[in-house]
């Protein structure tokens, strides 16, 4: 959805109605998670995907229908054992889509939301999916502002409070309420779609491996910063476009930098005078991943120094060292894939094992 917004904003600004299909719920091995979107605009132009190709043809027709009727629809697609040629998901999963028309009249907050996402400002869009409330109605919620309505003051107030909580976590999903926002009722289903700023990847040590890690971090959607105290190595021309390059002592830069539970920290400095004080700082800050490059011997010596600095066993247990999964990687690009694989596995609880050696759903329910 984030990638589609510039084009959608152009349609919106031109007053061209378009149909927007959004995945609001999944079960079993669904190919795309909640928040995945597809739009059908002027001249039948299609943007995005909701299933990787399984049901896009049917969704294309649905989007045309909702634009023509002006009424949002809720549709579920799954696999039909009785009719293998029916429109459905061949993977055996199930997705539920909200397909709604978008115009300045039906969604007056759309332009504000698009501008906030483009500027990296956090915003959650709440949309009525089902129940005794206007289906497709939207409410945009920022940390300090609200725009739009879901139909009643009570529902708006309850959803606003929940949306801000979800926004702090960067979470997206369904919530249930009574018609006037009652917490213990589930008549009204609302989809909360959070657009939090991209998570940060902090790469320390401007070596050749750092350029490869920064490149794959960009690809995964992180806002990447490379930091090194040596100006001869920390130059923007050595790194991909869009990567921030900072010349500073790594531990000093990190001490003055905000991190959160989504932040990824990769320590590639390979020098005790840099990485020991840096890791001492990193292991006391919130982060999703803290990995350090080095041999087994380097790791043992580094861990001993960190313990001597006063770090607890729980803090030391957060360190992924040597960083990366065992892929047999040799080149900087291969090592970057190894590091990225470990980050993704840790984020979603993956094992890192070959899928041929595992059983059950490939994509657990609720994982996007």
pLDDT at 31: 65
Q: What is the mean pLDDT of residues 31-48?
A: 90
Render pLDDT for 190-236 as a digit per residue (tens, 0 to 9).
999 999 888 899 999 998 899 999 999 999 889 999 999 999 999 99
pLDDT at 80: 53
pLDDT at 347: 85
Query: Which letter does DSSP use for residue 17 in this model?
Result: -
Render pLDDT for 100-144 as a digit per residue (tens, 0 to 9).
999 999 999 999 999 999 888 999 999 999 999 999 999 999 999
| Mean pLDDT, rounded, of the chain | 90
Query: Which letter does DSSP use for residue 22 in this model?
Result: E
> How does 84-114 read in b/e, with b if 16+ C-beta sit within 10 Å?
eeeebbebebbbbbbbbbbbeebbebbeebb
Quote the tokens at residue 233: 């190595």
Only one residue has tokens 């996402």, namely 117
Alpha helices in the chain (DSSP H): 5-13, 56-69, 110-118, 153-169, 208-219, 250-255, 272-282, 296-308, 313-316, 332-348
Tell me the C-alpha to C-alpha distance, in Å, between residue 253 and each of 27, 274, 315: 43, 12, 20
pLDDT at 79 over 80: no
H or E element at residue 193? strand 188-195
DSSP helix/strand/coil, 8: helix
Query: Please, are residues 176 and 189 in contact by the beta-carbon 8 Å criterion?
Result: yes
Q: What CA–CA distance (Å, rounded) separates 236 from 247?
A: 10
Least confident stretch, 33-37, 51-55, 189-193: 51-55
Query: Please, are residues 19 and 39 in contact by the beta-carbon 8 Å criterion?
Result: yes
β 244-247/200-204 pair status: unpaired
Q: What is the mean pLDDT of residues 317-323?
A: 95
pLDDT at 231: 94
pLDDT at 360: 75
pLDDT at 349: 86
Render pLDDT for 241-250 as a digit per residue (tens, 0 to 9).
889 999 999 9
Quote the tokens at residue 22: 């959004």
Range with top average pLDDT, 314-318, 350-354, 362-366: 314-318
pLDDT at 367: 39
Query: Please, are residues 172 and 193 in contact by the beta-carbon 8 Å criterion?
Result: yes
Q: What is the mean pLDDT of residues 357-361?
A: 80
Q: What is the mean pLDDT of residues 299-305?
A: 92
pLDDT at 26: 87
Sign of CA dihedral 332, 335, 340, 346: negative
Q: What is the mean pLDDT of residues 60-81?
A: 88
Q: What is the mean pLDDT of residues 145-167?
A: 93
pLDDT at 86 over 80: no
pLDDT at 255: 96
Closest CA to 191 of 216, 166, 154: 166
pLDDT at 42 over 80: yes
Q: What is the pTM of this model?
A: 0.67
């Amino acid at each position: 959805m984030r990638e589609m917004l510039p084009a959608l904003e152009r349609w919106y600004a031109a007053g061209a109605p378009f149909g927007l299909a959004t995945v609001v719920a999944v079960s079993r091995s669904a190919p795309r998670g909640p928040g995945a979107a597809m739009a059908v605009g002027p001249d039948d132009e299609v943007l995005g995907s909701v299933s990787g190709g399984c049901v896009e043809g049917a969704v294309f027709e649905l989007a045309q229908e909702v634009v023509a009727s002006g009424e949002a629809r809720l549709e579920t697609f799954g696999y039909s054992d009785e009719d293998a040629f029916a429109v459905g998901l061949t993977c055996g999963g199930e997705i539920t889509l909200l397909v709604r028309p978008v115009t300045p009249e039906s969604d007056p907050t759309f332009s504000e939301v698009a501008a906030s996402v483009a500027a990296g400002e956090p915003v959650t869009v709440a949309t009525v999916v089902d129940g005794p409330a206007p289906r497709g109605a939207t409410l945009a919620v920022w940390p300090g502002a609200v725009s739009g309505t879901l139909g009643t003051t009570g529902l708006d107030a309850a959803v606003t409070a929940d949306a801000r909580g979800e926004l702090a976590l960067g979470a997206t999903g369904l919530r249930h309420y009574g018609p006037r926002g009652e917490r213990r009722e589930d008549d009204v289903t609302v989809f909360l779609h959070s657009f939090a700023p991209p998570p940060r990847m902090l790469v320390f040590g401007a070596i050749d491996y750092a350029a490869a890690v920064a490149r794959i971090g960009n690809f995964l959607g992180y806002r990447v910063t490379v930091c090194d105290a040596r100006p001869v190595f920390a130059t923007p021309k050595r790194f991909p476009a869009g990567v921030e390059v900072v010349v500073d002592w790594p531990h000093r830069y990190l001490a003055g930098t905000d991190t959160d539970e989504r932040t990824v920290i990769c320590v590639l400095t390979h020098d005790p005078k840099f990485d020991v004080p840096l890791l001492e700082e990193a292991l006391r800050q919130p982060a999703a991943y803290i990995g350090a490059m080095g041999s087994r011997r380097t790791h043992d010596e580094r861990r001993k120094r960190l313990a001597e600095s006063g770090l607890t066993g729980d803090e030391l247990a957060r360190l992924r060292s040597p960083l990366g999964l065992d892929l047999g990687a040799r080149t900087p690009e291969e090592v970057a894939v190894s590091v990225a694989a470990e980050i993704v596995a840790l984020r979603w609880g993956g094992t890192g094992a070959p899928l041929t050696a595992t059983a059950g759903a490939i994509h657990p329910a609720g994982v996007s």
